[in-house]
Amino acid sequence: MRKVTVFASIFCVAAVLMVVGAAPTQAADLDPRLADPATHWVNERGSTMTLVFTCNGSQNAVCTLSGNYINNAQGFQCRGNPYPLVGVYYINTQTLSWSVAWSNAVADCGSVTGWTGYLIFSSPIQIVTNWNLAYSTGGTGRAIMQGADTFTQRPTMVYESLLKGGSE
């Protein structure tokens, strides 16, 4: 009788451990500094972007990215007006990727850029990326240009002040 109780206890403990082990990891939370309705960024070429992190999807710890990108980089086309961006951010590894198709109502450059990188939670937060820009050279020519961009987060208050024409 006593042996039966011991075996039953071991079985119960093993069953509980199996259930706990199989359970999904606890939901990761988005850093509050990214949880503003919109976050604002500038890179070393003077380009700016707005990123919105939406983290209520079905994939645990995976957020979708939306927003827009204003290219201000010398030597490129499609400068000075916003293009929509779409992407993905993985909370657990602080890695992200987003794309812009350079086509809107103002200008169509026939090109697409994808950035992939990671966040550094310094103050201010930075995003370190490599990018690929795929474009047509005319005729049947196709090319992919590559480079790197680092983005620095701008405080929302500064961004709003700039929009209103105020100074930093």
From 39, 50, 71, 126, residue interacting with ligand BTN (rule: CB under 6 A): 71
- Tokens, residue 121: 């939670």
Residue from 39, 50, 99, 111 binding ligand BTN (CB under 6 A): 111
Which residue of this chain has its Cβ atom nearest to ligand BTN in the complex?
47
DSSP-derived 3-state class of residue 80: coil
- Return the sign of the alpha-carbon dihedral for residues 84, 88, 93, 95: negative
Is residue 52 a contact partner of residue 41, using CB atoms and an 8 Å limit?
no
Note whether 42 binds ligand BTN by CB under 6 A.
no
Cα first-last separation, the chain:
79
Q: How far is the CB of 149 from ligand BTN (least distance, A)?
A: 5
> By CB under 6 A, which span of 13-21, 51-59, 106-114, 160-168 interacts with ligand BTN?
106-114
Write the binding mask 15 to 34 for ligand BTN: x where contact by CB under 6 A, - elsewhere: --------------------
Contact 116, 102 (CB under 8 A): no
**Residues 83, 101: contact at Cβ < 8 Å?**
yes
Can you give the binding site for ligand BTN, defined by CB under 6 A? Answer: 43, 45, 47, 71, 73, 76-78, 102, 109, 111, 113, 131, 133, 135, 147, 149
